[in-house]
Amino acid sequence: MPQLHVVNHPLLQHKLTLMRDKTTGSKEFRELLREATIILVTEATRNLRAEEVRVETPLAETTGVKLSGKKATAVPILRAGLAMVEGFLQLLPNAKIGHVGLYRDPVTHKPVEYYFKVPACLPERDVFILDPMLATGGSAVQAINFIKQAGARSITLICLIAAPEGMAEVEKAHPEVAVYTAAVDEHLDERAFIVPGLGDAGDRLYGTE
Ligand code: PRP
């Protein structure tokens, strides 16, 4: 899959392993996801638009680089994706934030929409969708559908763990969307949970098991 980027940085893999551990509690789990997001976002933003500028140091004038164009936008998929926003904003403090509310029906495993709000001028912005888990891919494909309908042209999906099934769905529906992840796991179980995965990210983040 040409648009799949598995980020193998040892710091990220270390944090992911701690998150997989079932004895890791909510507080540590949230902190680890924020830190992991910083590493994933660093990789996923390599192609952000930038321009050369002149800058005067205390000693001399030189050439530097500054981001250019409209501010980037993060769109977390509620609710687990919310826990990735802070990490995103640590790197891009002036980013705009949209929100997509989707939950997965426990019987059909299909995404159900309950909220959608994104910034203006979306066609001119680089949009980064945030969701720790890409399982069947239903939520990500639906979120990308909505964001495209809102006009976005540059969309990247950032997740912590992807299932091969979800990757295939995203590639089939939106082949131009790049996906950045820390791991592609083995498979989905009968409840459409990622195996080995880390359990239900939303429940572990917010203590709702
Ligand atoms: C989880 C996860 C993704 C989705 C992935 O959210 O955070 O959004 O499931 O599954 P999919 O690829 O099969 O669509 P969930 O629906 O449990 O909602 P939550 O974040 O509110 O817990």
Q: How confident is the model over 129-146, as a mean pLDDT? A: 97
Task: Tell me the pLDDT tens digit for each residue of 34-91.
Answer: 999 999 999 999 999 999 999 999 999 999 999 999 999 999 999 999 999 999 999 9
Say how many residues make up the chain: 209
**What is the CATH code of the structural domain delimited by 4-206?**
3.40.50.2020
Q: Provide the whole-model pTM.
A: 0.96
**Is there an atom of ligand 1 within 6 Å of 201 CB?**
yes
Task: Tell me the domain boundaries of the chain.
Answer: 4-206
pLDDT of residue 106: 86
Centre of ligand 1 from the C-alpha of residue 104, in Å: 6
Centre of ligand 1 from the C-alpha of residue 133, in Å: 7
Distances in Å between the Cα of 191 and the Cα atoms of 137, 160, 195, 199, 202 are 14, 19, 11, 11, 15
**Is there an atom of ligand 1 within 6 Å of 103 CB?**
yes
From 57, 103, 55, select the one nearest 77 (Cα to Cα). Answer: 103
